[in-house]
Amino acid sequence: MPGFISPQLATLKMKAPSGAEWIHEVKYDGYRIQLHIDGDTRKAFTRNAHNWVNRFSVIAGAFDIPGQAIVDGEVVVIHEGRTNFSELQADLGRGDQDRLVYFAFDLLWLDGKDVRRMAQLARKELLKQLIDENGLEAPIFYSEHHEGDGQALFEAASKLNYEGIVSKRVDAPYRSERVETWQKIKTVQREKFPVVGFVKDPSGVAALYLGKQEGKELRYMGKVGTGWSRTKSAEIRKALDTVVSPKQKLTSASRNRRPPGSSRSLFADVEYRDITSEGLLRASSFKGLSKK
């Protein structure tokens, strides 16, 4: 039985494929974990080959089968109807495994046989059979897939505020690299936030601090530090210098009220993936500056 196997990675695409040669799965917002089961021995490798079996001991123990298997999947926490990475991090920080769930989506090894050369759909069928025949239940789940129009599933995932989808070629083997036979299509959210401060750099700005109006209060939403060129950075700095205070004038109280010297006149148009459990933007990217 091999040790850690470098994971297969999906290529980011703007639009989902369709046709009989593709299947589509919901993209889970969690930790990619490769489970190794060998009799009573369990390992749980991250995508960087760290064995986190102690952190995921409940999941590893729940994958109770008599033989050998190497399973690829994602550990998640489901919060308010969808997987939530911030809640997962919070639970792991506390050492709490009660809400952890494992979605198994691929099979790499089974009872002495390397099955990576088998077709994607055949591997998934073997995985489902393994889970069903051994009566595995929560927190272990088989990752269901959908056939047909991937874009339709993506649009449905977007409406439900899921992270996106992963489309997979039904006939492709498993390869330890980034491949075109796995394609990920991500959903993003976009909103305008008042700029409440900034971090300088020699030619412009390194980051913008953002807020959000809630009644009479301006609540701190975190910062954005990507999405502009050097030229654009200088333009942003010039626009901000006269109306927004730099970082030095922000205080901890800015999380609860309007920061001293900040302005409601300039807004950053920002794409972001999610809002963390602390109320901050996650995976944010700057798209433009306006006076709204």
Residue 262: the pLDDT is 45
Question: Hey, how many other C-beta atoms are within 10 angstroms of the C-beta on 138?
Answer: 8
Residue 35: the pLDDT is 98
Residue 239's identity, in one-letter code, is A
pTM reported for the whole predicted model: 0.73
Average pLDDT, the chain: 88
Question: Hey, how many other C-beta atoms are within 10 angstroms of the C-beta on 22?
Answer: 22
pLDDT tens by residue, 150-173: 988 898 888 887 889 999 999 999
Residue that is written with structure tokens 């490798």 in the block: 45
Residue 54 burial (CB < 10 Å; 0-12/13-18/19+)? exposed
135: left (phi over 0), alpha (psi -120 to 50) or beta: left
More confident residue, 160 or 248: 160
Q: Architecture of 189-290 per CATH?
A: Beta Barrel (2.40)
Least confident segment among 38-52, 131-145, 164-178, 237-251: 237-251
Confidence category of residue 261, pLDDT binned at 50, 70, 90? very low
Question: Which tokens sit at 165?
Answer: 């989808």
The Cα-based distances of 57 to 45, 64, 171 in angstroms read 12, 12, 33
Q: For residue 112, is pLDDT > 50? A: yes
Domain ranges of the chain: 9-186, 189-290
Residue that is written with structure tokens 């759909």 in the block: 121
The Cα-based distances of 71 to 109, 173, 275 in angstroms read 7, 15, 30
Question: Which tokens sit at 161?
Answer: 């505020």
Cβ within 8 Å of residue 90, ≥6 positions away = 277
The Cα-based distances of 173 to 119, 122, 123 in angstroms read 5, 10, 9
Cβ within 8 Å of residue 129, ≥6 positions away = none
Question: Which tokens sit at 21?
Answer: 């040669």
Rounded Cα gap, residues 167 and 25, in angstroms: 6
Record: fold of 9-186: D-amino Acid Aminotransferase; Chain A, domain 1 (3.30.470)
Confidence category of residue 255, pLDDT binned at 50, 70, 90? very low
Rounded Cα gap, residues 132 and 119, in angstroms: 20
Residue that is written with structure tokens 């297969």 in the block: 8
Q: For residue 253, is pLDDT > 80? A: no
139: preceding bond cis by omega (within 30 degrees): yes
pLDDT tens by residue, 175-220: 999 999 999 998 877 888 999 888 888 889 999 999 988 887 888 9
Residue 244: the pLDDT is 66
